[in-house]
Amino acid sequence: MKDVRIGIIGCGGMGTHLARSCLQVHNAKIVGTYDAVKEKAKFLAHQLKCDYYDSVEDLLDKPDIDAVIVATPNYTHSAFTIAALKAGKHVFCEKPMALKLEDCDAMIGASEKQGLTLMVGHVMRFYHGCAFIKRALENGEIGQPIISHVFRTTWVKVGAWSKSWRCKKELCGNSLFEVAIHDIDLMRWFIGDVKSVKAYSSNFSHPEFDYDDSIIAILRFKNGALGLLESGFSSRLGDHKIDVNGTLGAANIDFKALTVKVAVEGRGERKEPLIKSNPVVDELQHFVNCVSTGKKPITDGLAGRGAVEIALAISRACEEAAQMNG
């Protein structure tokens, strides 16, 4: 297999992590970097011994770049992804895919028109334990899903993001888009699409955010299952768990304790490790394999769009509840 030559758009925390992780991916080669802050692109290029570019157009013009990784702030994902696809590059786009459904649709449309790979960075599908639960659901061990709980809360130090794109709704979305989108994707992968939502939100601790720092939502899935989701940045201890209760059994992932359990009536409880290999390396290997073979990624544009649709529905339900309650 020929190397897939990759350009990095966005050389901050995640762009750097993805670029370094590519060093462990078979048939991946980082060949260029770009960032709005030139020094960041230059620094990463120096570390990886590749070129850096002063503009994204210069990077996308290079015929020896096959694919790009988009790891810029959330509000920029769609424009960079569409520009890259139009320039003939395959795209790995970090989550959330975008902040609006129209943008997700335009990204999917561009990848289909160009016949190029579009993958969204929903890395948790590449955790061994999450794939294990998916298989247990698919082979009917747990039965029909009936109730799921998702907790994705953390503490963001007051003021820590005051100069960051992360505290502005227009640039980041909110905690659903920025963090819980991973868990929303998993819940949707396990159970399916959501039919209706009730939700409440408040900003308890972060006056520097122009969005609420705490969200609680109740979901009804299209297949009749119920869901309860908490997301936010106001919990000092924080929590990160997903469970799926079914008609025959139950599955539980505790991301802090790194444990995965499946209990089935009459067969007792089984445990699995959450992680067996590096999930970021595995997701990037999947991207490179899809680019090389033309296969659809498991976290394709439709998967990215599905998670964004749920995050938008919960955000809308919070706004409606706020309006009703004055």
Ligand X SMILES: NC(=O)c1ccc[n+]([C@@H]2O[C@H](COP(=O)([O-])OP(=O)(O)OC[C@H]3O[C@@H](n4cnc5c(N)ncnc54)[C@H](O)[C@@H]3O)[C@@H](O)[C@H]2O)c1
Under the rule (CB under 6 A), what is the footprint of ligand X? 10-15, 35-37, 40, 71-74, 76, 94-95, 121, 123, 178
User: Are 253 and 241 in contact, with CB atoms under 8 Å apart?
Assistant: yes
CB of 82 to ligand X, least distance (A): 14
Q: Which is nearer to ligand X, 98 or 251 (CB)?
A: 98
Give ∠ CA 197-307-289 in degrees, rounded to 5. 160
Q: Which is nearer to ligand X, 91 or 142 (CB)?
A: 91
Q: How far is it, in rounded angstroms, from Cα 181 to Cα 184? A: 5
Residues 6+ apart with CB under 8 A from 271: 259, 260, 261
What separation in angstroms does the CA of 200 have from each of 19, 124, 142, 197?
A: 38, 26, 30, 10
CB of 284 to ligand X, least distance (A): 11
Q: What is the dihedral of CA 252, 253, 257, 258, to 10 degrees?
A: 130
Q: Which is nearer to ligand X, 171 or 264 (CB)?
A: 171
> Could you tell me the end-to-end alpha-carbon distance of the chain, in angstroms, rounded to an integer?
60
Q: How far is it, in rounded angstroms, from Cα 286 to Cα 257? A: 27
CB of 179 to ligand X, least distance (A): 8
Q: Which two tokens stand for residue 246?
A: 């079914």
Residue 14 CB-density burial (10 A; 0-12 exposed, 13-18 middle, 19+ buried): middle
Q: Which two tokens stand for residue 104?
A: 């997700």
Q: Which is nearer to ligand X, 12 or 238 (CB)?
A: 12
Residues 6+ apart with CB under 8 A from 225: 144, 145, 146, 147, 148, 191, 192
Q: Which is nearer to ligand X, 37 or 302 (CB)?
A: 37
CB of 238 to ligand X, least distance (A): 15
Q: Which is nearer to ligand X, 232 or 249 (CB)?
A: 232
CB of 113 to ligand X, least distance (A): 24
Q: How far is it, in rounded angstroms, from Cα 191 to Cα 306? A: 12
CB of 203 to ligand X, least distance (A): 20
CB of 134 to ligand X, least distance (A): 18
Give the β-pairing of 28-34 and 51-52. Answer: parallel
Q: Which is nearer to ligand X, 44 or 137 (CB)?
A: 44
CB of 14 to ligand X, least distance (A): 3
DSSP letter (8 states) at residue 203: -
User: Shortest Cβ contact with ligand X: which residue?
Assistant: 12
Q: Which is nearer to ligand X, 154 or 261 (CB)?
A: 154
Task: Report residue 117: phi and psi, to 5°.
Answer: -70, 135
